[in-house]
Structure 1
Amino acid sequence: MADVEIQKQRIAMAIEFDGRVFHGWQQQDNATSVQAELQAALLAVEGETVVTVAAGRTDSGVHAEALLVHADVSSARWQRSHLAYLHGLNSRLPDSIRVVGVRAVKADFHARFDCRGRTYRYLISNRNTLSALHRWRYFWVPRALNLEAMQEAAAHCIGRHDFSSLRASGCQAAHAIRTMSKVDVSRDGFAISIEVAGDGFLYHMVRNLVGNLVEVGLGKQTPEQFRELLAQQDRSRGAATAPAHGLYFIDALYDDFSASDLIGKS
């Protein structure tokens, strides 16, 4: 008797993870990745290999609050209970990864190619002692930072520009032109948050931006010098790359929803 074809349902999942224990999102040989752990959980639920596709890759040590991922799963199993499906996945994932929201999407939906924009947040701990609690959540900068100067410099990134000056040497993008809709720098007590939203990002772009903004905050670079750096389109003239552990992927935007919309919903 021929095998009965299992009807599939494409779903979108918002994934939260602690990046310090992973070598990034993408599955790779001889390294622990978020994708490999998620696909192992899906295999346990589905009984067959399930391929996942994410809105973007994250580097080793980078965290996520709502990375959007799509996968094709059993329609019957999904329809029985969306909430049970979410909890079933989470029960098979390590504590460092959680599916925080799910929804059904069209069969041709693509987490990467349909994404209209991505948002990242970078956190800096600006106090004179290293935190015991936030050591792997913030970039520690013990010297005082000039928030106003950082905000002035960040404003030069808004709009459509060639961001070659913030592009790492290993970047495989065809070009460095991107459109930034938000580059906000704010302070809450000791914590400085840099939130960046745009239509796409280059390899290490946010971390290179933060490295330069920290130099501006320390008075090693003026906001005008940062503007000139962007115009020069020369990465070699920029500041050092900020560490990965302060960076969070926090949202992916689509035509009718965003990854953060899914948090707590199923």
Structure 2
Amino acid sequence: MPRFRLTVEYDGTDYVGWQRQTNGASVQGAIEAAVLALTGETVSLRGAGRTDSGVHALGQVAHLDLSRAWKPETLRNALNAHLMQAGERVAIVDAAEAAPDFDARFSALRRHYLYRILSRPAPLTVERDRAWWVAQPMDAEAMHAAAQVLVGHHDFTTFRSAHCQAASPVRTLDRLDVGRSGDLIEIRASAQSFLHNQIRSFAGTLKLVGQGKWTADDVRAALAARDRKACGPVAPPCGLYFLQVDY
């Protein structure tokens, strides 16, 4: 059976997350329904990462096997037509033939995420559900300096959800950069894999630094504590974007 790699973009606001669930609409379920409508085949789509409810994606990657050898551009366009007809906020940005052993999850070498904060007194309108609104001034340079404490190979128990199912809290964080352009603060994170709520935990902790409530030493102490209660607040999902996967 031919295997296809899909690059997927979605607005996660109205979905329970990437993964198919019984308690609401999922991105995975939306694409699988489009595949069924197009081909008559029931498939199980595997994604590179399981984003939570409200989290967006610009470059999620998934793979599926189909019984016939579709032209990739035809498959992309036809799936998008079905997704649009169903009113889904999901788009197949690209489709490509993949090697039989390609796995969207296990073949990934690095995943890249973006977290967006809009720091301004006025509430969000156009950017509502697209970024975290913080009304107070924030120091992005201090946030970036504190973020470097977290880069490297660490036990990230402090910065993972109590419901995280990963076998180990140890991960290697390749990048955690904070930059500012006007009112927009962007946190960019890269690693082979992340723990559940890890980036949102980073963002909430770095917010405290930006507001002058924490220092880099406080972040270092929180990391060393290996205790979830030492973490700052978990940032809301609306600011998080799954950007890209490297293979």
TM over 0.5: yes
Count of aligned pairs between the two proteins: 244
Mapped to 2, the partners of 1:104 and 1:188 lie a distance apart of 38
Which residue of 2 is the match for residue 89 of structure 1?
79
Pairing 1:140–2:141 present: no
Report the TM-score, using the length of structure 1 for normalisation. 0.90
- Deviation above 6 Å: which 4+ runs of structure 1? none
RMSD: 1.0
Pairing 1:25–2:27 present: no
Which residue of 2 is the match for residue 264 of structure 1?
none
- Residues 9-41 of structure 1 show CA distances to partners (whole Å, capped at 9, x for unaligned) of 101000000000100011111310001110000
Which residue of 1 is the match for residue 113 of structure 2?
120
Mapped to 2, the partners of 1:180 and 1:52 lie a distance apart of 27
1:34 to 15, 27, 46: 27
Pairing 1:51–2:41 present: no
Structure 1 residue 95, shift from structure 2 partner: 4.3
Which residue of 2 is the match for residue 249 of structure 1?
242
Structure 1 residue 185, shift from structure 2 partner: 0.4
SS of match in other structure, 1:84: helix
Supply the AA of the counterpart residue of 1:205: Q
Supply the AA of the counterpart residue of 1:24: G
- Return 5+ residue gaps in structure 1 as ranges: 1-7, 255-266
Mapped to 2, the partners of 1:213 and 1:45 lie a distance apart of 45
Supply the AA of the counterpart residue of 2:115: Y
- Residues 234-264 of structure 1 show CA distances to partners (whole Å, capped at 9, x for unaligned) of 110111100000000011111xxxxxxxxxx
Map 1:1-266; keep pairs closer than 5 Å. 8-76=1-69, 78=70, 81-93=71-83, 94-254=87-247
- Answer with 1 or 2: which has the greater Rg: 1
SS of match in other structure, 1:75: coil
